[in-house]
Amino acid sequence: MSWATQDPESFRQSLRSWLDTHCPQAMRDGLNTEATICWGGKNWEFTSKHQKLWMQNAAEVGLTTPRWPAAYGGAGLSREQDKIYLEELARINARMPLLSFGIWMLGPALLAFGSEAQKQKYLPQIIRGEQRWCQGYSEPGAGSDLANVQTKAEDMGDHYLINGQKIWTSYADKADWIFALVRTDRDAPKHKGISFILIDMESEGVSTRPIQLISGASAFCETFFDNVKVPKENVVGEVNKGWDIAKYLLTHEREMISGNNQGLTSGRPLGAVLAQTAGEERLSDASLRAAAMECEIDALSVGLTLERYKDQAEAGAGVGDASAMLKYMGTELNKQRYELMMSAGGSEAIDTDGAHGDLAMDWLRSKANSIEGGTSEVMLGIISRRILGLPG
């Protein structure tokens, strides 16, 4: 199916017809929570036949990665068509067919810096949900200084030998591959001598250890590399210039997190979601209504700002340091939405076995938004120095 050449209205009608046939009714419940997301990968266990069918149907026509080029299996949609796609998913209350770090972060980096062989090898598997990736950036003792990479990759002639440790590697225990920053030149300045490399998690010498969170879940892990052999062709871009890729990828990660503040509501008005959660009677509380309206106004402002920067990026100007502002606001909005949901649900919302299901777990999980993708303190530092021009 070729949608790329269709005008907006023709595309919308064509897409509606396709969704009517290919999006299962069971996937039209508006749930895009931690428990309902489809992450894909070799180790993924589908929660239902409908989840599997929805992912496969979307992948077949490239709609798991609507903006990626058709040459690698994406849908090749324009920016305007992509907006229509999201509108139509919201209209029928559909879940996203597939979400992954491969889609949000590695894919854009490969499209910008990868070799043609790397694109052909990895992108189609990400699009089809066959390969799950995790990110290997942070290291113990480095704090917010991502460039303080101590994991080393020694040149052994036909391969690199990697030793070191990463931390806060989300879902590393479930991932098939990891994209990581490694130091390939220990004598170079801190931001030089770093390379961006792809490592198979089944390689001998790779091990993971989950970190238990306040929610009881273990989304984050420690990842260890003990004499791990990695082929040289797994380096993305130029050796020792991985920091440029790291910065590019971080921009996409922050944009992704800022855009995910709608995940809880799937594009529906917050008031409608609160009414569904707690009942319309609870919404008679004036303070709750005021808080919901304030949150919605902030969400609209962030959404419009995000669209403006996406247009800017489309024109080639990039997002740059504004990604820190978008990430910070997206984080605060997501946490604010969960606080409101918990307030609306009252004491019953705490009960994980009650009518509110996983809401309490997702609320606790939202606290990690202030850490992942760069802490809120780091984001505020970037905003103050690089956007507002305040002294550092």
Kindly write down the DSSP assignment for every residue of 52-93, as one continuous string. HHHHHHHHHTTTTSTTS-GGGT-----HHHHHHHHHHHHHTT
Is 87 annotated as catalytic? no
Predicted local distance difference test score (pLDDT) of residue 151: 96
Q: What is the DSSP string of 122-162?
A: HHHHHHTT---EEEE---TT-TT-TT----EEEE-SSEEEE
Confirm if 380 and 328 have CB atoms less than 8 A apart: yes
Confirm if 305 and 313 have CB atoms less than 8 A apart: no
123: nearest Cα among 138, 102, 140: 102
Predicted local distance difference test score (pLDDT) of residue 122: 98
Confirm if 356 and 345 have CB atoms less than 8 A apart: yes
Confirm if 127 and 121 have CB atoms less than 8 A apart: no
SS3 219: coil
> What is the mean pLDDT, run by run of 10 residues, along the chain of 392 residues?
86 97 92 80 94 97 96 94 92 92 93 96 97 94 79 96 94 96 92 95 97 79 97 97 89 68 59 73 83 87 84 74 87 89 82 71 84 85 90 76
Predicted local distance difference test score (pLDDT) of residue 127: 97
Alpha-carbon distance 299 to 92, whole Å? 21
Which one is catalytic: 253, 255, 294, 307? 253
Buried b (16+ CB within 10 A) or exposed e, 30-49: bbbbeebbbbbbeebeeeee
Structure token digits, residue 46? 């589908």
Q: How far is CA 360 from CA 335, 351, 366, in A?
A: 12, 7, 10
Predicted local distance difference test score (pLDDT) of residue 355: 65
Residues 6+ apart with CB under 8 A from 325: 305, 379, 383, 387
Confirm if 132 and 102 have CB atoms less than 8 A apart: yes
Alpha-carbon distance 308 to 104, whole Å? 19
Alpha-carbon distance 277 to 280, whole Å? 9
Alpha-carbon distance 358 to 309, whole Å? 33
Structure token digits, residue 321? 């340091």
Predicted local distance difference test score (pLDDT) of residue 32: 67
